[in-house]
Amino acid sequence: MLLLSSSSSRSSRGTGSISPRPSAALSASAPERKAGQKEESGAETAVSLCDLMDQHIAAQLATAEAVRAWDERRAASEVTNVAYANRLLDVARDEEAGRLAIVNYRPRGDRESRLKLAYMAAYLIATRGTLNPNEMNSVLEAPRDRPSTSVS
């Protein structure tokens, strides 16, 4: 889960640090499961929302680490600007894939719907990002057991 740190340490861009631990309020609303456990839906086995969030957080942390490491290598003239840009593009694609998996995830109930919305809100606030209209509709999509409404 992306959460702004309550400490006063901020990066030069003014954004908070990313914490891999969800707040007590959000984790209390998450479905009960053991680490690595997949949830079953009907006859198919699907990755849970919590697993997708864990994967997205790992991709964000990997992105931050790659940026730091490649910035150091570029500053030491160990890599070309093209190699630097290509490597950062690779890790950014991994993070984007994780974000899109969450955006496109269809909640299984009201609790998962609220958890997805809270996660995406925290992510967008922390990154100062935006969603396109299709992504917004997907984030606001009703759980599987209720009819869907869209935002125009």
Decide if 109 is inside a domain: yes
pLDDT at 145: 60
Strand locations in 2-142, DSSP E? 39-41, 44-46
| Mean pLDDT of the 113-127 span | 94
* pLDDT-derived band at 149, boundaries 50, 70, 90: low
* pLDDT-derived band at 9, boundaries 50, 70, 90: very low
The pTM of this model reads 0.64
* pLDDT-derived band at 7, boundaries 50, 70, 90: very low
Decide if 33 is inside a domain: no
Strand locations in the chain, DSSP E? 39-41, 44-46
Decide if 106 is inside a domain: yes
105 or 2, which is more confident? 105
Backbone φ and ψ for 72, nearest 5 degrees, come out as -65, -45
Decide if 107 is inside a domain: yes
What is d(CA 44, CA 19) in angstroms, rounded to the nearest whole number? 32
Q: Are 40 and 151 in contact (CB under 8 A)?
A: no
Nearest alpha-carbon partner for 41 in 148, 147, 144:
144
- pLDDT (tens digit, 9 = 90+) per residue, 43-100? 345 789 999 999 999 999 999 998 898 888 888 888 888 888 888 898 889 999 999 9
Decide if 56 is inside a domain: yes
CB count within 10 Å of CB 73 equals 14
pLDDT at 8: 34
Q: How far is CA 12 from CA 17, 89, 122, in A?
A: 11, 22, 20
